Amino acid sequence: MQPLATILNTVCDEIGLPRPAQYISSVDPTARQLVALAQREGNELSMRPGAWEGWPILRKEYTFQIQSTGLITNCSYTSGSNIITIGTPPTQAPQVGWVLSISGGSNATGFPYPTTVTNVAGSTITVSSSATASNTNVSLAFGKESYSLPSDFQHFINQSQWDRGYRWQLQGSMSAQEWQVLKSGLSPTGPRRRFRIMGGLLYVDPIPYDSNTLVYEYYSNGWCSSSGGTPQSSWLADTDLPILPDDLFILGVKWRILAAKGMDYDQEYKTYEDMVQSIMGRIAGARILPLNNTSSGINLISNAQIPDTGFGA
């Protein structure tokens, strides 16, 4: 891969512009314009949908463990009080901000959603809501409801969200209407885990009472990197390197600078688009759909292994 300065120098050479001495920290208007167009090119090129969710090099897998106390036995609470007393210390102590779960055997029906932990002191847990009923010797669970997305998250790859503990696919992303039915309406929780994105966080439902590993694939916004290999979503130095093909940056910035200067760019744009489609078509890979009963590759079982007589005997 060629660094940013080399890419922009090539653009200047091809359209007959003088090369600026530097780009990122330059005060020269042409240099600043070229950097801005290179940034625009990176942003738009990285979001190309293409085949199989765009650029394979920008696809990543993310795993994280949901957090909860698990079931805490021998708990009690009193109507009108926001104090819960636990009899058996959990392996994982509840944390401030965790939410009281009503799933997995947790008997927290005396508290409205969301009832969150506000303080933990030994065997006493203070929560944000007062109990509407009294209960003793019951099991309760507290869990973390929302989780951070990866720092380079751009968007999900659809239907890649799974719970590896239960080996179930997560349901979602839920719409606002569906989420409020679950949280505000009379809806059974069910065994399947659901998710929704709000405020830059991933929310899970029901409130966790386990510690399973969740996984999903996503599309990274890190379409360039520092010279040391750190992914970035913007150019920060002349030595930065594109993660996507540098030829596309050259062709992309070339037609963009011509358009910005009010010059004809039709041919340059066509060349660029043809190159994008050609590279994306090859880089993603594709399945082969044979039009007859033959297929390429190694066939371990085929009609060649079927005996002439006695089949099934």
Q: Kindly report, residue by residue over 110-127, the tens digit of the pLDDT.
A: 898 899 999 999 899 999
- What is the average per-residue pLDDT within 79-97? 92
**Per-residue model confidence (pLDDT) at position 179:** 87
pLDDT band at 302 (very low <50, low <70, confident <90, very high): low
**Per-residue model confidence (pLDDT) at position 227:** 94
**Per-residue model confidence (pLDDT) at position 290:** 66
Residue 189 predicted with pLDDT over 90: no
Q: 232 pairs with which residues across the strands?
A: 224
Mean of pLDDT over the chain:
89
**Per-residue model confidence (pLDDT) at position 91:** 83
CATH number among 1.10.3470, 3.40.50, 2.40.30, 1.10.260, domain 72-143? 2.40.30
Q: How much of the chain, in percent, has pLDDT values that exceed 70?
A: 88
Residue 237 predicted with pLDDT over 90: yes
Q: Kindly report, residue by residue over 146-158, the tens digit of the pLDDT.
A: 999 999 999 999 8
Residues 6 or more apart whose Cβ sits within 8 Å of residue 61:
215, 216, 217
Q: Kindly report, residue by residue over 250-283, the tens digit of the pLDDT.
A: 999 999 999 999 999 999 999 999 999 989 888 7
Q: Kindly report, residue by residue over 39-55, the tens digit of the pLDDT.
A: 999 999 999 886 666 89
Provide the 10 A C-beta neighbour count for residue 232. 18
- C-alpha dist (Å) from residue 21 to 8, 18, 251, 258: 11, 9, 21, 21
pTM of the model: 0.81
Do strands 142-143 and 117-121 pair parallel, antiparallel, or not at all (unpaired)?
unpaired
**Per-residue model confidence (pLDDT) at position 107:** 86
Residue 308 predicted with pLDDT over 80: no
Q: Check whether the bond before 20 is cis (ω within 30° of 0).
A: no
**Per-residue model confidence (pLDDT) at position 192:** 83
**Per-residue model confidence (pLDDT) at position 260:** 95
**Per-residue model confidence (pLDDT) at position 54:** 80
Interhelix angle 246-260/29-46, nearest 10 degrees? 120
- What is the average per-residue pLDDT within 8-22? 95
**Per-residue model confidence (pLDDT) at position 34:** 97
- What is the average per-residue pLDDT within 238-245? 96
**Per-residue model confidence (pLDDT) at position 184:** 85
Residue 236 predicted with pLDDT over 90: yes
Exposure string over 239-271, b if 16+ CB within 10 A, otherwise e: ebbbbbbbbbbbbbbbbbbbeeeeeebeebbee
User: Rounded to whole angstroms, how far apart are CA atoms 65 and 19?
Assistant: 51
pLDDT band at 88 (very low <50, low <70, confident <90, very high): confident
3-class secondary structure for the chain?
CCCHHHHHHHHHHHHCCCCCCCCCCCCCHHHHHHHHHHHHHHHHHHCCCCCCCCCHHHEEEEEEECCECCCEEEEEECCCCCEEEECCCCCCCCCCCCEECCCCCCCCCCCCCCCEEEEEECCEEEECCCCCCCEEEEEECEECCEEECCCCEEEECCCCCEECCCCEECECCCCHHHHHHHHHCCCCCCCCCEEEEECCEEEEECCCCCCCEEEEEEEECCCEECCCCCEECCCCCCCCEECCCHHHHHHHHHHHHHHHCCCCCHHHHHHHHHHHHHHHHHHCCCCCCCCCCCCCCCCCCCHHHCCCCCCCC
**Per-residue model confidence (pLDDT) at position 306:** 66
